[in-house]
């Protein structure tokens, strides 16, 4: 039976891993299926926001039992990074709603999302060092960008996890909420974002990424100017500005 599924609610896609007996540890099969689902999400223009929410535990990492016998080449084939990159590259906002453990590959899955909302009981970290390895699904790259080199090194070198409050303080998550309102908070955020202009969101997401990679502020701003000007070719720009002038709520169609 599949251990990952995609549901739709309005314009929100909900990706859910259902392997509670292993704390939603990510097997190669789950991640392969995730790649396929992400392609469907990309093709479905009706999905304007994606939320990843796994009940009780976000994911306690890559499946250790599935990796134990790997040599270098098998490990290379096992790696989740290309699939998580597909997630990071989706042209829609993505939200990780984190309850319980988000460790190792689970933490890296959350890091490939745009926004992280954690329940107060969440525990986040990179325990790979305790297994004799290191993060291998984007963690060493995305964590320093998000929380800075020093904090990322401390987390990755010690393998000690952080609680939700600490995660918030260091910028690893955007928000912390009581566990019983985690889903509602993520859903409300998704609904809010789903009402925004999809092409403007996609352009903003791409530009922020390009800016982070650009060698200079000037190079980043040049990309921004082009993306910004390009939005004036969209119907949503006319709709948004006309709605302002007409004192009504805009209705964006992604055109
Ligand atoms: N892989 C495979 N199985 C896992 C798992 C994982 N990452 N995490 C938990 N499980 C399984 C356990 O083996 C156990 O299964 P059995 O009942 O069959 O023994 C079940 O889930 C429940 O786990 P525990 O009994 O250990 O639960 P606990 O509450 O005592 O402890 C925990 C919870 C602290 C999260 C502990 O399970 C743990 O340390 N898990 C491993 C965390 C980890 O090291 N993650 C990183 C993996 S490597 C990685 O992710 C590499 C990468 O960069 C992609």
Residues 87-120 have pLDDT tens digits of: 999 999 999 999 999 999 999 999 999 999 999 9
Mutate to test the pocket of ligand 1, among 3, 21, 22, 23 (most ligand atoms within 8 A of CB): 23
Concerning whether 108 is annotated as a catalytic residue, the answer is yes
Mean pLDDT for the stretch of residues 114-136: 98
| Tens digits of residue pLDDT in 38-94 | 999 999 999 999 999 999 999 999 999 999 999 999 999 999 999 999 999 999 999
Residue bearing tokens 């909900």: 14
With tokens 């039992």, the residue in question is: 65
Locate the ligand 1 atom nearest the alpha carbon of residue 107 and give its number: 50
Q: In what order do the strands lie in the sheet with 123-125?
A: 101-103, 123-125, 162-163
Ligand 1 centre to CA of 84 (Å) is 20
Query: Which tokens go with 234?
Result: 């969209």
pLDDT in the model for residue 200: 98
Return the pLDDT at 2: 87
Share of the chain above pLDDT 70, in %: 100
- How confident is the model over 23-40, as a mean pLDDT? 97
Active-site residue, from 33, 74, 99, 108: 108
The sign of the CA dihedral 57, 60, 64, 66 is positive
CA–CA separation, 245 and 165 (whole Å): 42
**Looking at residue 53, what is its pLDDT?**
98
Name the residue of 3, 18, 25, 123 whose CB sits within 8 Å of the most ligand 1 atoms, as the mutation to test its pocket: 25
Give the span between the Cα atoms of 172 and 185, in whole angstroms.
17
Q: Whose CA is nearest to atom 42 of ligand 1?
A: 60
How confident is the prediction for the chain on average, in pLDDT? Answer: 97
pLDDT tens digits for 220-243?
999 999 999 999 999 999 999 999
Residue 1 banded pLDDT, cuts 50, 70, 90: low
Annotation marks residue 239 as catalytic: no
Instruction: Evaluate: CB of 22 within 6 angstroms of ligand 1.
Output: yes
114-135 average pLDDT score: 98
Q: Torsion over CA of 231, 234, 240 and 245, rounded to 10 degrees?
A: 100
Q: Closest Cα to atom 19, ligand 1: which residue?
A: 22
125 CB within 6 A, ligand 1: no
pTM of the model: 0.97
């Amino acid at each position: 039976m599949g251990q990952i599924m995609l549901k739709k609610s309005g314009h929100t896609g909900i990706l859910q891993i259902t392997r509670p007996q292993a704390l939603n540890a990510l097997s190669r099969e789950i991640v392969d299926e995730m790649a396929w689902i992400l392609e469907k999400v990309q093709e479905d223009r009706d999905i304007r926001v994606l939320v990843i929410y796994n009940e009780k535990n976000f994911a306690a990492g890559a499946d250790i039992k599935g990796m134990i016998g790997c040599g270098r080449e098998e490990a290379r084939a096992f790696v989740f990074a290309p699939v998580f990159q597909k997630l990071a590259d989706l042209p829609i906002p993505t939200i990780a709603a984190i309850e319980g453990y988000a460790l190792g590959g689970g933490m890296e899955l959350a890091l490939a999302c745009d926004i992280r909302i954690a329940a107060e009981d969440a525990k986040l970290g990179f325990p790979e060092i305790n297994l004799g390895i290191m993060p291998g699904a984007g963690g060493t790259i995305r964590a320093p960008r998000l929380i800075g080199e020093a904090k990322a090194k401390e987390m990755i070198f010690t393998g000690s996890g952080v609680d939700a409050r600490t995660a918030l303080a260091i910028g690893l998550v955007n928000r912390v909420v009581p566990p019983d309102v985690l889903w509602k908070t993520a859903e409300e955020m998704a609904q809010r974002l789903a009402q925004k202009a999809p092409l403007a969101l996609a352009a903003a997401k791409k530009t922020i990424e390009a800016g982070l990679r650009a060698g200079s502020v000037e190079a980043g701003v040049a990309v921004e100017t082009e993306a910004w000007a390009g939005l004036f070719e969209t119907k949503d720009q006319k709709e948004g500005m006309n709605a302002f002038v007409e004192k009504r709520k805009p209705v964006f169609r992604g055109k």
